[in-house]
Amino acid sequence: MRITIKKYISHLVLGIGLLLFSTSCNDFLEETDKSNFTQNTYFTQPKHAESIVNSIYADLRSTTGGGFNGAPWMMLEFATGLANTDLGQAQNSINIRNLANNSDNSYGGTYWTSSYRGIANANLAIQNIPGITMDENQKARLLGEARFLRAYYYFNLVRIFGQVPLITEPVDLNSEALYPPKATEEEIYNLIVSDLVAAEAAGLPITDKTGKVTTGAIKSLLSSVYLTMAGYPLQKGAEYFKKAADKAQEVISSGAYDLFASYNDLHNEATENTGEHIFMVQFAPFIMASGWQTSIIPYNKGISAYSDETGAIYANTDFVQTYEPGDKRTKEKEFYFTEYSLSSDRNTNVNLGGYFIYKHFDPKAQLETTSSGLNWMLMRYAEVLLIYAEAANEVSGGPTAEAYEAINKIRRRAELPELAGLSQPQFREATWREKWHELSYENKTWFDMVRLRKAFNVKTKNFDDYIGHQFSYGPVLKERELLFPVPTAEIRNNKNLAQNLGY
């Protein structure tokens, strides 16, 4: 019997994928077609609960990828002024890099629609799972996953677009919420925290090798949320620095995670969802392959087994040169690579003419299979250590022994001298600098720039005010670059949405 569940993409106003269910065939048949489900009859079994929660994960993949048109994840890297491209037709990337972005940029559209699609499925799960007869512990865990994922999508939306519609219940074409207004950042963060606190109590395991949401991921994300709330735009200050430090400390004290001894394990399929990896987007070769491998290699150098070599994104040389002398992360094929063998002759290396991003590089796929199952990193333990170090420094009026240990664990792996004897302001900037260097090209840096209102000056190696900061290649950040524009389609179709400043 074929199950026919109609999946409807909602009105352009939100770009939400709403699950609308087919109606009864009573008007045409004497007997109801039992192969069809309505919304009321679908959510009746434990497997339905698992199915709807699994669907929420799917949109984590939407912003990854690559190819000749670039990919949405690159949006957050070009906005830092620290990335370059050789892909002339990727106009979305070029506009962002040159600070000439506009609301027609499809990268922003993908973040908007995929996030709301994930939120729509989360809302269905949160509303319907409580009514399903099933094991109560399993029910609680599934609801915890759904709440975490809804919080994650909203955390991205509020940081990228600022005030956005806050939708917490399923929407159909007859809903009053079809044309929702924007909510304040405070309201959105309140929901994010509420969801994460509820998820934290759901009884999920601290780690999970399958890649599902864990208590470790929940606490880690909550520490990041609290750190952001301490900064801009909410500026909640000391109380939230303490909340961030406390939650990061819970992750550290759990003993469930540790830094990998080798940077190669950051992009090794065998270590995924373990060790340093706290939460990842899941891929599998030849089944659900990841798509960014062609983007992170140089343009048409002939080094890859892939037929496409796009040079879509690589590190600015002047940024890589800001790492301290001897930093292991800048050595060949650690975080970056500057040379590689030819696909036609693996005994011959060629200079690539720049610093390409090795931490996202899949050697097996590049050399042999052309199908990568490499997962995308969303949260790793190094970030939690740096959140703790930064927040603890603010709480204590200066660096504590524990804060030093958190940052020095990362520096020891990088084969750098340990920090000591710093004042609070010196330690603050040292921590920011370590974040820029350790979490480079992982979609973290721009978010830090906006919450701090600071940008890294690659010439002075110090931090400038965000507004007025000049990229090394010329463009100057304006107030409007604190947010991305609301996509054109959303503004056009929803009179209750106003465009962000300057777009």
How many other C-beta atoms lie within 10 A of the C-beta of residue 460? 9
Residue 468 counted as domain residue: no
What is the total count of domains within the chain?
1
CB 327 within 8 A of CB 437: yes
Q: What is the pLDDT of residue 172?
A: 86
Give CA–CA dist 468/89, Å, rounded: 29
Whether residue 205 is preceded by a cis peptide bond, meaning omega within 30 degrees of 0, is no
Q: What is the pLDDT of residue 42?
A: 83
Closest CA relative to residue 295, chosen from 101, 105, 103, 77:
77
| Region label for 275, one of left (φ > 0), alpha (ψ between -120 and 50) or beta (otherwise) | left
Residue 111 corresponds to which amino acid? Answer: Y
Token pair, residue 221, equals 């994300």
> Could you tell me the CA-to-CA distances from 87 to 66, 356, 365, 424, 469 in Å, in that order?
11, 14, 22, 42, 25
Does residue 261 sit in helix, strand or coil? Answer: coil
Residue 312 counted as domain residue: yes
CA 407, 410, 414: angle at the middle one, nearest 5?
A: 135
Residue 301 counted as domain residue: yes
Residue 413 counted as domain residue: no
| Region label for 215, one of left (φ > 0), alpha (ψ between -120 and 50) or beta (otherwise) | alpha
Give CA–CA dist 366/305, Å, rounded: 5
Residue 171 counted as domain residue: no
What are the pLDDT digits (tens) for 276-321? 999 999 999 999 999 999 999 999 999 999 999 999 999 999 999 9
Give CA–CA dist 334/366, Å, rounded: 16
CB 122 within 8 A of CB 147: yes
Give CA–CA dist 384/244, Å, rounded: 10
Q: Domain limits at 335?
A: 283-374
How many other C-beta atoms lie within 10 A of the C-beta of residue 366? 21
Q: What is the pLDDT of residue 334?
A: 98
Give CA–CA dist 118/16, Å, rounded: 8
Closest CA relative to residue 93, chosen from 127, 68, 130, 59:
68
Number of residues that this document lists for the chain: 503
Token pair, residue 403, equals 């804060």
CB 408 within 8 A of CB 322: no
Residue 14 counted as domain residue: no
Q: What is the pLDDT of residue 493?
A: 93
Q: What is the pLDDT of residue 37?
A: 57
Residue 370 counted as domain residue: yes
| Region label for 338, one of left (φ > 0), alpha (ψ between -120 and 50) or beta (otherwise) | alpha
Closest CA relative to residue 63, chosen from 428, 484, 465:
484
Give CA–CA dist 295/93, Å, rounded: 12
Longest Cα–Cα distance of the chain, Å, equals 83
How many other C-beta atoms lie within 10 A of the C-beta of residue 438? 21
DSSP sequence for 325-349:
TT-GGGSBTTTEEEEEEETTEEEEE
Give CA–CA dist 362/364, Å, rounded: 6
Q: What is the pLDDT of residue 272?
A: 98
CB 439 within 8 A of CB 450: no
Q: What is the pLDDT of residue 8?
A: 25
Residue 196 counted as domain residue: no
Walk along the chain (503 residues) and give the pLDDT tens digit of each residue.
Answer: 333 222 222 332 333 333 333 333 333 234 444 445 566 678 999 999 999 999 999 999 999 999 899 999 999 999 999 999 999 999 999 999 999 999 999 999 999 999 999 999 999 999 999 999 999 999 999 999 999 999 999 999 999 999 999 999 999 888 878 899 999 999 999 999 999 999 999 999 999 999 999 999 999 999 999 999 999 999 999 999 999 999 999 999 999 999 999 999 999 999 999 999 999 999 999 999 999 999 999 999 999 999 999 999 999 999 999 999 999 999 999 999 999 999 999 999 999 999 999 999 999 999 999 999 999 999 999 999 999 999 999 999 999 999 999 999 999 999 999 999 999 999 999 999 999 999 999 999 999 999 999 999 999 999 999 999 999 999 999 999 999 999 999 999 999 999 999 99
Q: What is the pLDDT of residue 30?
A: 41
Give CA–CA dist 417/412, Å, rounded: 7
Give CA–CA dist 128/108, Å, rounded: 30
Q: What is the pLDDT of residue 378?
A: 98
- Output the CA torsion 32→33→39→45 (10° steps): 110
> Could you tell me the CA-to-CA distances from 315 to 185, 268, 330, 337 in Å, in that order?
32, 21, 11, 10
Closest CA relative to residue 390, chosen from 237, 217, 219, 244:
244
CB 202 within 8 A of CB 363: no
Token pair, residue 340, equals 């590689």
Q: Report CA 432 to chain centroid distance, whole Å.
A: 19
DSSP 8-state symbol, 85: -
Does residue 476 sit in helix, strand or coil? Answer: strand
CA 419, 421, 422: angle at the middle one, nearest 5?
A: 80
CA 148, 160, 377: angle at the middle one, nearest 5?
A: 55
Give CA–CA dist 377/364, Å, rounded: 18
